[in-house]
Amino acid sequence: MVFDMKHRIKKGPYPGFHTHDEMDDKQSWADICFLGRDKFTFWNATLVSPADAREEILSTRAWEVTEAIVPLPLWEKGVKFSDWLNRPRETYPEFDGRTHGEQINHLVKEWKSDQSLGLVHLNAQIDYKYQFGIGLYGVVDAPYVTVEAVDQFIEKFRDLGEVGFYEDVPVSWELMSATTRLGNLLNI
């Protein structure tokens, strides 16, 4: 696996890492692979922009708040999962006639302008349970996940000794408020 990845990195379009994604200048996340300084450690990473990380934080919090008010009906044993997914969307008076997904999207949209909510810190989190390589989740120090931002993240990660990190100071509001590609993902 490491030999194959070395070959892909060497022959691929991006020196220093491999991705199945086509990198552009407005990407809010990327799945990449790169080798550690020792040339034997294989890092399998998902890198996100600060705006994407903030969207995840706000969406998770909105899900928790919504679930605390009216829990989403669970998939019932004996019911086909496809039937459960295709059930009529239920609206709730507690959410002013919105569905769960609509309520979550409503809260996220409402909270986005509040600069004190969903603060994002540059970080790298290691996950040793990945099937291929060592898992890594990180937030880049740029508005978008570009080739340059990936290179800078890898360099910083290596310079810190290839360990997880969490910076004390949140990233700037400008980085957290860039456009993301997540949009309204929830349709529940």
Helix (H, G, I), strand (E, B) or coil at 9: helix
**Tokens representing 106?**
């409503």
pTM over cut 0.85: no
The tens digit of pLDDT for each residue in 114-153 reads: 988 889 999 999 999 988 889 999 999 999 999 999 999 9
As a whole number of Å, the CA-based R_g of the chain is 20
Q: Where are the domains of the chain?
A: 2-49+121-176, 53-112
Question: For the chain, what is the largest distance between any 2 Cα atoms, rounded to a whole number of angstroms?
Answer: 58
**Tokens representing 4?**
């194959």
In angstroms, the CA 21 to CA 45 distance is 13
Helix (H, G, I), strand (E, B) or coil at 185: coil
**Token pair 């919090």: residue:** 61
* pLDDT of the residue at 50: 94
